[in-house]
């Protein structure tokens, strides 16, 4: 982005935050924000600084020209001259200087925090600065410092993610989820931060992991699973679920699995509520694979295999009336 373009965008964004734009300008800004992850991050940084500047006392007493000059010379700003823009724009510039004085770090105009958000219906696969790969489940969020500044590759996870971590013994990969910390050098694992239960669940696929909560620590080997309770207590077991990462792969696998567990996995994957009325049918077992199949196709397969009858109260609530293990 050229200096002139950056000036223009920043001016538009500040007026947008003030609700001082025409309809066509509003559409342009919103389209620009949606265009890329970097644009959205840039906007969030502007919004954050603008919000902070609102709380600066006695702003009218600030010498804006002086503060802008300090800003230019102090951090070698990419903008080479003070733009002829409104007081809103300059207020942000002065605010940046004041925030720097309070110990905030900015890369060019804004700070270096990167936020990844998982969109509905997308693959949500991201390449991190160290070439590690993360897949985020829908609605999840991952935050980290740009280029992994510091002595570790630290990230904050809200929701669920599957990580394939590039090995770097000199710079540990650390994921913070709720009150837990997952520390690895190079490995692959699935980490889930449940906002409702406040529990954090980790399943290790390869390598080794150090998992810490408030007062406890566990070292995991491949195939291990650990659950951190809200109290901080850790429960380490052997992972029995074949479908802990089905949200990523789109594949549901069952090997002599009870129908009760099958239905739980289907409920979670398709976000449905399914009730089994027959306890006898719940104890039946299933061996099969559903590979990126629709929910309707899964129901049809169960109908064929077990002669089930079911009733849909609505699109998300299904009652399985009966089924025959010997069909």
Tokens of 309: 């009858």
Of 115-124, 242-251, 283-292, the poorest mean pLDDT is in 115-124
Which of 244, 251, 198 is closest to 223 using CA atoms?
244
* Integer angstrom CA distances of residue 95 from 16, 50, 125, 282: 18, 8, 35, 62
User: Within the chain, where are the H helices?
Assistant: 3-17, 23-35, 37-54, 64-75, 87-101, 246-249, 259-270, 279-282, 295-306
pLDDT for res 128: 93
Looking at 28-32, 69-73, 100-104, which range is the least confident one?
Answer: 100-104
Q: How far is CA 237 from the centre of its chain?
A: 26
How far lies 131's CA from each of 73, 160, 238, 264, in Å? 34, 19, 29, 35
Cα distance between residue 180 and residue 224, in whole Å: 17
| E strand or H helix at 93 | helix 87-101
> How does residue 163 score in pLDDT terms, banded at 50, 70 and 90?
very high
Residue 52: the pLDDT is 56
How confident is the model over 223-235, as a mean pLDDT?
Answer: 94
According to DSSP, residue 118 is labeled P
| Section 258-277 average pLDDT | 93
Is this prediction's pTM over 0.75? no
- Any idea which residue has 């901080």 for tokens? 232
| pLDDT, position 31 | 86
Contact in structure between 15 and 21 (CB atoms under 8 Å): yes
**Integer Cα distance of 89 and 13 in angstroms:** 9
Instruction: Kindly tell me if the per-residue pLDDT of 75 is higher than 60.
Output: no
- The predicted model gives 89-98 an average pLDDT of 49
Give the single-character DSSP code of 194: -
For residue 142, report the phi and psi dihedrals to the nearest 5 degrees: -130, 130
Q: Percent of the chain at pLDDT above 70?
A: 78
pLDDT at position 123 is 86
CA 133 to chain centre: 13
| The pLDDT of residue 212 is above 80 | yes
- For residue 263 the two structure tokens come to 């239905």
Tokens of 61: 């007493």
Mean pLDDT, rounded, of the chain: 81
Residue 97 clears pLDDT 80, i.e. is over it: no
Compare 104 and 131 and report the one with higher pLDDT. Answer: 131
What pLDDT, on the 0 to 100 scale, is given for residue 58? 47
Nearest to 227 by CA among 215, 237, 242: 237
**Rounded CA separation 66/93 (Å):** 11
Q: Average pLDDT, stretch 116-131?
A: 88
Give the pLDDT confidence score for residue 76 in this predicted structure: 42
pLDDT grade, residue 49 (50/70/90)?
A: low
């Amino acid at each position: 982005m050229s200096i002139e373009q950056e000036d223009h965008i920043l001016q538009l964004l500040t007026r947008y935050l003030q609700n001082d734009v025409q309809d066509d300008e509003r559409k342009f800004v919103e389209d620009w924000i949606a265009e890329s992850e970097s644009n959205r991050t840039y906007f969030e940084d502007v919004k954050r600084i603008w919000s902070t500047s609102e709380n600066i006392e006695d702003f009218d007493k600030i010498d804006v020209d002086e503060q802008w000059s300090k800003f230019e010379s102090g951090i070698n700003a990419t903008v080479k001259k003070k733009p002829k823009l409104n007081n809103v724009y300059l207020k942000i510039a002065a605010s940046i200087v004041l925030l720097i004085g309070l110990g905030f770090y900015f890369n060019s105009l804004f700070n270096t925090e990167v936020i990844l958000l998982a969109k509905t219906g997308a693959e949500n696969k991201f390449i991190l600065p160290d070439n590690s790969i993360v897949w985020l489940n829908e609605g999840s969020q991952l935050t980290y410092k740009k280029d992994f500044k510091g002595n570790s590759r630290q990230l904050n996870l809200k929701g669920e993610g599957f990580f394939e971590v590039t090995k770097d013994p000199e710079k540990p990969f650390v994921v913070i989820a709720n009150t837990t910390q997952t520390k690895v050098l190079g490995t692959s694992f699935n980490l889930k931060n449940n906002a409702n239960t406040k529990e954090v669940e980790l399943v290790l696929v390869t390598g080794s992991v150090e998992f810490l909560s408030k007062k406890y620590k566990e070292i995991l080997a491949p195939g291990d699973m650990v659950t951190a309770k809200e109290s901080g207590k850790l429960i380490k077991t052997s992972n029995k679920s074949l479908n802990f990462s089905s949200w990523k792969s789109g594949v549901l696998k069952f090997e002599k699995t009870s129908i009760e567990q099958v239905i739980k996995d289907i409920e979670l994957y398709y976000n449905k509520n399914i009730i089994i009325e027959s306890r006898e049918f719940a104890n039946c077992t299933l061996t099969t694979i559903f590979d990126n199949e629709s929910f309707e196709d899964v129901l049809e397969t169960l109908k064929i295999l077990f002669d089930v009858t079911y009733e849909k109260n609505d699109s998300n609530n299904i009652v399985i009336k009966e089924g025959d293990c010997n069909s």
